[in-house]
Amino acid sequence: MAIKKQKGILLFKTRFRTSSLIAKFLTESGETVSVLFKGALASTGRRDSPAANLVPFAVLEIIYYEKETREVQTGKSVAIVEDFPQIRKDYETQVVAAKFVKTAIIPVKEGDRYPEIYDTIVALFRQWDDITRINQDLIWAGFLLSILNFSGFAPAIHHCAVCQGQLTETGLKFSPSAGGIVCGNCPAPEDSINITPKIKDALVFLLSNPFRRYGKLNLSAKESRLVREIMEKFWNYHIGKPPHK
């Protein structure tokens, strides 16, 4: 049994028996880990107690005893490394942030490792004050696009999803079943949505820029809604579960 130390984000916690807690984390290695903190509720008055430090919307340092044959590891300690209290300021803000986190971990199955998904959530937390002032359709679309990209389900946005060739300037469509953008020279599946080069360029921008820069996109409210709509449709088709709205 080895001692392991990782940074992680709290996904949920639940009481175990009388005074213990089981917490599940998305760690910096990109995997989900469940950890049992024995007697955590018996020492709630101490600053270093697990019960006091198991807070959502924070980067936590978790130290635990790892045994590969166990589904739940034994915790040694947990501490707050980087906190984002502004996200916990009210219930409505927490609900919005929780939807991002719950959506992000949908593609993460047992045994998977997607450290980029962990990084994406932390980046979202760090830029929270900035992104609340940006069109939320764009934030949501970019977030979905990032998670799809890092979990291996990225749509084709740089070339035609059908012929793999260069994208045309006219006749562009976005098709979840085809795998992304379809050029004007290829037949479009029934689920295709007409898009403009501006929408194509917006998708490229979202994937290659931090959230705080999304406000630089010169899109109308209607165009922003369309970007979110096509990303949600793509997510639903390939992930199989609707994102939390």
pTM to 2 decimals?
0.91
Confidence of residue 43 (pLDDT cuts 50, 70, 90): low
Alpha helices in 151-217 (DSSP H): 197-208
152-192 pLDDT per residue, tens: 999 999 999 999 999 999 999 999 999 999 999 999 899 99
The Cα angle at residue 62 between residues 57 and 68, in degrees rounded to 5 = 120
Whole-angstrom Cα distance, residue 25 to residue 63? 12
Confidence of residue 110 (pLDDT cuts 50, 70, 90): confident
Q: Which of 8-17, 39-48, 139-148, 195-204 has the lowest mean pLDDT?
A: 39-48
Confidence of residue 106 (pLDDT cuts 50, 70, 90): very high
CB 11 within 8 A of CB 118: no
Measured CA distances, 93 to 56, 85, 99 (Å): 12, 11, 10
Q: Give the single-character DSSP code of 169.
A: S
Return the percent helix, strand and coil in the chain, to nearest 5. Answer: 40, 25, 40
Mean pLDDT to the nearest integer, 194-202: 97
Whole-angstrom Cα distance, residue 224 to residue 214? 11
Domains in the chain, ordered, with CATH? 2-85 (2.40.50.140), 134-239 (no CATH)
CB 68 within 8 A of CB 53: no
Q: What DSSP string describes 94-133? A: HHHHHHHHHHHTTT--TT---HHHHHHHHHHHHTHHHHTT
